[in-house]
Amino acid sequence: MKKTASTPIPRRIILGAAVTAAGLALSGCAGASSPSSGGNVELNFVYWGDSNRAKMTDAAIKTFEEKNPGITVKSEYQDSGPYADKLATRFAGGNPPDVLNMANRSLLEYAQRGTLADLKSLPEIKLDNIPATIQSRGEVDGKLYGLATGVNLIGMVVNKTITDQAGVAIPDDKTWSWEDYAKFATEVTQKTGGKIYGAGYDVATETGPILFARQRGEDFYTKDNKLGVSEETIREWFQYSVDLRNAGGYPPAGFFEQIGGSPAQSYLAKGTVASQIIPINNFRGYNEAAGGNLVLLRMPGETTEKRRGYSADPSMLWSVAAKSKHPKEAAKLVNFLINDVDGAAETLTQRGVPINPEVADAIMPKLGTDDTKFVEMVAAIQEDDLPPAYVYPKGASVVADTLKQLATEVEFGRVSPADAAKTFLEKSNAAINK
């Protein structure tokens, strides 16, 4: 190429070729962490989320860089779907990020294939303050492959403006049963003349049946990473929504369209449903979107069923790639993310309640009313005697997809809850650990 550069002709060609080459180089090396000269280490850090989360994370990273001269952090974020795909490709291509967000349903898959580092083998990560129950959610075969980014639970939110106008009392969430919730939801629909549906939760997301199964004394995923939920429980989970729909408390088939998942796009914000199940770290977002009169409640059935449905559930995990070129620095970043008060002061409860209780306490004064409510609820629930929860098995993503698919079939009456439950167990068991 240099030779031709001396002739007058191909200036543009050179430019074009250079651009092409640069493009190739860029696409080939995008995100690669390479040790640059001058002792400066660049870490590649990836996570999923929206721009708001990114803003808070960037602020925390800045604090980290100030505290750790010589380390720069290059971060990337995406929506969870594309994130999962891109992560798989990067690991497959031998180009993993140093520090990454790991989904509960993918942890075992990645860990057992040797792609993640044992966090206990990295002395930079201080685990003294991290409760054992929380650590256990990232443990596979006695090694620690992921640390929860925070604790998060699902909860019920009710729009009090709507229930007040309809003249419906919100039941006591410390004692309410699933039956109470159905009665409440149906009453809201009736008293609003069918304009607003009392219930609006998502049947197809696994967090619902996971909690429901625990309440009925079953583990959705068991200690030895199998499917532990019974056909009966899945059948009743589906049947409950069918009955609630028939009674009028739940919207008709096809009502829910998932166009974007943000609180602002929710039916709660549109005011067409009066209640919804949400991951409660989003309480503030939903409350702001829905006009500021939402009430945060515990899930129904917590005291009326066999046992509690809540557990110490991580919202997601932090992991380090086994092939990270800078494991020491990567470990420092993970340690910062879970143990550093100044870092947590930037991210607050964006990824759930910090798993280090000291950090959680330290950020409490900085939280607004809604976030305080959420943290207090998590704290109150964690004080109770909760059943254990386990790492998701391999193939958990197929289980999630199967649930989604069958929920639609049931919704449109194409399959009965009983048949759906049977199919769910068959397909899930076939997909797990194969």
Partner 1 sequence: MSVLTKQAPGAAAALATAGGGKPRRGSSRRTNQRSGYLFLLPWFLGMLFTIIPFFASLYLAFTDYNLFTEPNFVGLANFQAMFEDPRLLQSLKVTFVYTFVSVPISLAVALLIALVLNRGLQGLAIYRSVYYLPSLLGGSVAIVMLWRYIFGNDGIVNGFLGIFGIQGPAWVTDPEFALSTLIVLNVWTFGSPMVIFLAGLRQVPSMYYEAASIDGASRWRQFRSITLPLISPIIFFNLIMQLIGSFQTFTQGYVMSGGTGGPADSTLFYNLYLYQKGFTEFEMGYASAMAWLLLMIIAIFTAINFIASKFWVFYDN
Q: Give the shortest CB-255-to-partner 1 separation in angstroms.
A: 7
What 8-state DSSP symbol labels residue 14?
Answer: H
- Choosing from 55, 62, 113, 126, the residue that interacts with partner 1 (CB under 8 A) is 113
- Choosing from 22, 92, 264, 380, the residue that interacts with partner 1 (CB under 8 A) is 92
Q: Please, which residue, 77 or 256, has the CB nearer to partner 1?
A: 256
Alpha-helical segments (H) within 302-392: 327-339, 341-347, 357-363, 369-383
Helix (H, G, I), strand (E, B) or coil at 122: coil
Query: Taking the CB of residue 169, how many other CB atoms lie within 10 A of it?
Result: 9
Q: Give the shortest CB-37-to-partner 1 separation in angstroms.
A: 29
* 26 contributes a contact to partner 1 by CB under 8 A: no
Measuring CA to CA, which residue among 308, 139, 149, 94 is closest to residue 218?
308
Pairing of strands 147-148, 154-159: unpaired
What 8-state DSSP symbol labels residue 323?
Answer: T
Cα dist from 244 to 162, 180, 183, whole Å? 19, 11, 9
- Choosing from 231, 255, 341, 416, the residue that interacts with partner 1 (CB under 8 A) is 255
Span 177-236, contacts to partner 1 by CB under 8 A:
none
* 115 contributes a contact to partner 1 by CB under 8 A: yes
- Choosing from 259, 365, 383, 385, the residue that interacts with partner 1 (CB under 8 A) is 259
Interface map 336-375 toward partner 1 (x if CB under 8 A): ----------------------------------------
What 8-state DSSP symbol labels residue 137?
Answer: G
Q: Please, which residue, 208 or 352, has the CB nearer to partner 1?
A: 208
- Choosing from 42, 98, 109, 236, the residue that interacts with partner 1 (CB under 8 A) is 109
Measuring CA to CA, which residue among 89, 125, 131 is closest to residue 318?
125
Alpha-helical segments (H) within 30-79: 51-67
**Which residues contact partner 1 (rule: CB under 8 A)?**
1, 3-4, 7-10, 13-14, 16-17, 20, 24, 81, 84-85, 88-89, 91-92, 109-110, 113-115, 253-259, 395, 397-398, 401, 404-406, 408-409, 412, 414, 431
